[in-house]
Structure 1
Amino acid sequence: MPPRRLLVLSAAVLVSASVLSGCTSPVAMQPAPSANDPLCAEVSVRLPATLDGKERRQTDAQATGAWGDPAAVLLTCGIEPPGPTTLPCSTVDGVDWIIEDLGEFRFRVTTFGRTPAVELYLDTNVDTGVSSAVVLEALASSVGRLPIDGACTDVPVP
């Protein structure tokens, strides 16, 4: 192959690679304190490719996941397990989740009774977000691998 043609071909490949990589830039996230726990690795390798129609994206932190562009679901494994709380707790496919309404169709959802804990940020806006029920069901098989050391309980009504 003539050197000029090889140079043009190489330049085309580099431009294509940079354009393609620009479309899939990693989501910037922070690893949790226990992100290096082997149990988080077990969760991470089992995360689904899609959640409620949103494609999984690369992240720049260990034991994290993101879906959608812009990200409608952010997952972090290795956070400190939450203690007793008055926030609502719901069980989905055997996994207990504490649900905190952050307003404007956004929720923080954290596993309860599992160590290490997993935290999700969900955007449930009808136009751009996801269904929390669909996401929690889809993640149950991955997150359900974490050991159980507690459960949601009903608070007695006075």
Structure 2
Amino acid sequence: MPDSPAPTRLRPGIRALTAVVAVTASVLVFAGCSQAVPIETAPLASDPACAAVVVRLPDALAKDTEAEQQQRETNAQGTGAWGEPASVILRCGAEAPGPTTDRCVSVNGVDWVIDESQKPNYLFTTYGRTPAVEVLVDNDVVSGTTVITELASAVSVIPADGGCTTLDETFDDTSG
């Protein structure tokens, strides 16, 4: 019976290079899974109040539910994103909205104007705070009410200088 060839041994330098290539390939594969979410920066994103909001953003939204959304890295100042793919996008530094007939709700001390024109995507914009914060929510993935409730503590660091009113509140009783 002929002798089997002896197994070849990798030289130490080649073995180290092979290990480095394997580790680098693993890092690239995993890094590809967690790319930063591209978001356009809001006009007033450099306002110091936005930095105060961003450092208070939660690591996850809708915690302890089937719809839990983990925070993701973004590519723009004054922003936040949650979900894979991103189902919640936050932009601090938006222009404060003026008077509107859109629905306005107060949640945990923060007033929000709700734009429902792109259902199931809802745009919530803080009302009575400058700069404003916009939160775009895919309501098919996670509840918009849950999201703005959980973001209220971070957003509330921007002082309120106004709030939602009803039509009845806008008229003074001067007929007296």
Q: Is TM (by shorter chain) over 0.5?
A: yes
Partner residue of 1:81 out of 96, 101, 104: 96
Runs of 4+ in structure 1 deviating by more than 3 angstroms, as ranges, are none
Note the C-alpha offset of 1:102: 2.5
After superposition, the CA RMSD in angstroms is 1.5
Aligned pairs for 1:5-154 within 5 A: 5-52=15-62, 53-125=68-140, 129-154=141-166
Note the C-alpha offset of 1:149: 0.8
Q: Per-residue CA shift, 1:20-53, capped at 9, x if unaligned? A: 1100011111111111111100100110111111
Listed as ranges, the gaps of 5+ residues in structure 1 are none
Note the C-alpha offset of 1:12: 1.1
- Report the Cα distance in structure 2 between the residues aligned to 1:34 and 1:133, rounded to whole angstroms: 25
TM-score of the aligned structures, taking structure 1 as reference length: 0.94
- Report the Cα distance in structure 2 between the residues aligned to 1:133 and 1:108, rounded to whole angstroms: 11
% of aligned pairs identical? 47
Amino acid at match of 1:91: S
Amino acid at match of 2:39: M
Larger radius of gyration: 2
Q: Aligned residues, how many?
A: 155
TM-score of the aligned structures, taking structure 2 as reference length: 0.84
- Report the Cα distance in structure 1 between the residues aligned to 2:119 and 2:164, rounded to whole angstroms: 26
